[in-house]
Amino acid sequence: MVDVDFCVVGAGFAGLTAALRLKQAGHSVTVLEARDRVGGRTYTENRSDGSWLDRGGAWIGPGQDRIYALMDEFGVPSYKQFVDGDAMMFLDGQTYKYRGTVPLSLSPVAVANLGVVFAELTQMCKSIPPDAPWTAPKALRWDRLTWAKWLDANTLSKPARLLLESSVAGLYTSAASELSLLFCLYQMAAAGGPSFVLGVEGAAEDARPVGGMGAIYRAVSAELDDAILLAHPVRGITQDDAGVTVRSDTAEIRARRVIVTVPVAIASHIVYEPMLPVDRALLHQRMPSGAVFKIAMIFDEPFWRADRLSGQSFAPGSAATLTIDSCTEAGTPGILTAITEGAEARALCRLAPADRRQAVLAAVAERFGDRARSPVDYVEHNWSVERYSGGGMISHAPPGVLTEFGPALRRPCGRIHWAGTESSAQMYGFIDGAVRSGERAAAEVVDHEARARV
C-alpha cells in the first residue's frame, strides 16, 4: 500500500494540473491513470517526418488564460490557425464559399434570422451565472426545452436552422433533440457568451501549441515523474473517517483525499464505498457523451492553400461534417483534419474500416478535388468507443438535469473531490476548463484538510 497526502484519478489535463499544483505546494501525490498514456481526451502522435497530429483536443483561444499560463510555465509557444482563403459550406443543396463567420451570400432572410438569434442568445447568456446556471431566472423554463425545440420557435429560415442545429449539436456530438437549452446556454456563458462557441468574429479557438497538446502534457508529466502510475484503472474508492483507499487491479493508494477527474459519463464505472450521496450517484447516470471521429489526412503539401482555400468546410449530414487545416507551424506536410460528429459518426462506426476511409475521402474530394482522394497517410481516431472517455468530445446535460442535479457537479462527497472539464464553471468542455478544474480541486483538497485539522 502506498501512503500519500492526496490521490488523483485520471491523467488528462485536469488530473495532471491538480497533481502538479499539489506537488508544487509540497504535498505528496499519486496519480492513477487507466490508459497506458497520459493526456486523456488529448493525444498527440509524433511522426517520423518530424510533424505531429493531435488526435483529440487541439485548439486554444482568447480568454483561455489557464492553459496559456501552463504553456508559459513550461515554455510551450503557440502558433495561429491558418485561416487565409475561402471557407466552404454546404447547406440545403447550396454551396457557399466565404470568408468570416457565415456566408453573407445566404438568403437575406437567413442572414437576418441568424443575426436575431445571435442577439437573443447573447442576451439569454447574460442572465446565466456560469457558477450556478440552475439559479438563472428562467432556468426551469429553459431546462425543460431542448436546443431543437428552441430552434423550432426561433428559426424562420431553413439554412439558418440547419446551420444553428448542426453547429451547436455538433459540439456535443449528439442530436439537438438530446440537449437541454439551459445546458447549451450555460456552456456558451461559461466561455463568455455565444461568440466563442459559435466562432463569431474571430472569437473562437484560433491557435495551437507548437508540438501539439503533447508538448504540454509531456512536460507536466515529466515534472510529476514517478507520481503517475499508468495502466492503473481505478476500480474502487473507499472512504472512512481518516482517509480514502483507492484501488486499481494491482495497487492500493491510501490518501487523505482523492480528486476524481474522469468524465462524468463514465464516473459510475468506479465503485464507491459507501455509496455516493444520491444527487451525485444519480448525476452519473444522467450526463452522457456523444460520438465523434477525428481523422487526419496527410499530404506532401497543403494543396488547398494554393487553391486559395482555407481548408475549412462544413457539410452537415456528410461523412466528413467538418474539415480544417491542421498543419504544424512549419506548414508542411499538408494535414487536413475531418471531424465527424453525432449521427454521422455513428453511421461511420457501422462501416468496415476500408469503406469508412473511402466514404470520408470521397466526401472530402467533392470539396477539395481529386488530390484529396490520395493522402500519403490517413489516421482515424474513433473517440465514440474509447472505454476511458465514454465517447467524445464532452459529457452534456439532457433536459431537466442541470436544474435537478447541477449543484452536484462540483460538490465534494466527503473525501472525494471532483475535477474534469465538466466540473468547470469557466470554459466548460474545453482543455482550459480542465486545467481550471484541476487547479480549483487542488486548492479545495488542501483547504478542506487545513480546516479539518483546526
**Out of 269, 286, 305, 411, the residue judged to bind ligand FAD by CB under 6 A:** 269
Only one of the segments 83-91, 278-286, 395-403, 426-434 lies at the binding site for ligand FAD (rule: CB under 6 A); that segment is 426-434
The torsion of the CA quartet 420, 32, 23, 46, rounded to 10 degrees, works out to: -80
Nearest-CA neighbor of 378 among 55, 32, 35?
A: 55
Work out whether 228 is an interface residue with ligand FAD (CB under 6 A).
no
Query: CB of 54 within 8 A of CB of 324?
Result: no
Report whether 234 belongs to an annotated binding site: yes
**CA separation for the pair 250, 34 (Å, rounded):** 12
Work out whether 14 is an interface residue with ligand FAD (CB under 6 A).
yes
Nearest-CA neighbor of 384 among 413, 417, 341, 426?
A: 341
Of 74 and 388, the one with the shorter C-beta distance to ligand FAD is 388
Interface with ligand FAD (CB under 6 A), residue total: 41
Only one of the segments 37-45, 123-131, 142-150, 329-337 lies at the binding site for ligand FAD (rule: CB under 6 A); that segment is 37-45
Provide the 8-state DSSP code for 376: S
Report whether 271 belongs to an annotated binding site: no
The least distance separating ligand FAD from the CB of residue 438, rounded to whole angstroms, comes to: 7
Report whether 34 belongs to an annotated binding site: yes
**Out of 40, 193, 333, 375, the residue judged to bind ligand FAD by CB under 6 A:** 40
Report whether 273 belongs to an annotated binding site: no
Q: How far is CA 82 from the centre of its chain?
A: 21
The angle at the Cα of 328, spanning 342 to 353, to the nearest 5 degrees, equals: 40
Only one of the segments 236-244, 354-362, 407-415, 423-431 lies at the binding site for ligand FAD (rule: CB under 6 A); that segment is 423-431
The least distance separating ligand FAD from the CB of residue 141, rounded to whole angstroms, comes to: 28
**CA separation for the pair 89, 111 (Å, rounded):** 14
For residue 133, the one-letter residue type is P
Work out whether 53 is an interface residue with ligand FAD (CB under 6 A).
no
**Out of 62, 199, 233, 407, the residue judged to bind ligand FAD by CB under 6 A:** 233
The least distance separating ligand FAD from the CB of residue 107, rounded to whole angstroms, comes to: 31
Only one of the segments 50-58, 157-165, 249-257, 330-338 lies at the binding site for ligand FAD (rule: CB under 6 A); that segment is 50-58
Nearest-CA neighbor of 8 among 234, 260, 271, 238?
A: 260
Q: Can you read off the three cell numbers belonging to residue 306?
A: 494554393
Those residues whose C-beta lies under 8 Å from the C-beta of residue 393, and which sit 6 or more positions away, are 41, 57, 171, 172, 173, 289, 290, 292, 383, 429
Only one of the segments 190-198, 217-225, 256-264, 367-375 lies at the binding site for ligand FAD (rule: CB under 6 A); that segment is 256-264
The torsion of the CA quartet 39, 45, 46, 51, rounded to 10 degrees, works out to: -120
**CA separation for the pair 184, 190 (Å, rounded):** 10
**Out of 7, 12, 257, 336, the residue judged to bind ligand FAD by CB under 6 A:** 12
Interface with ligand FAD by CB under 6 A: which residues?
Answer: 9-15, 32-35, 40-42, 56-59, 205, 233-234, 261-263, 266, 269-270, 292, 294, 383, 388-389, 392-394, 420-421, 429-431, 434
Binding region: 33-34, 234, 422
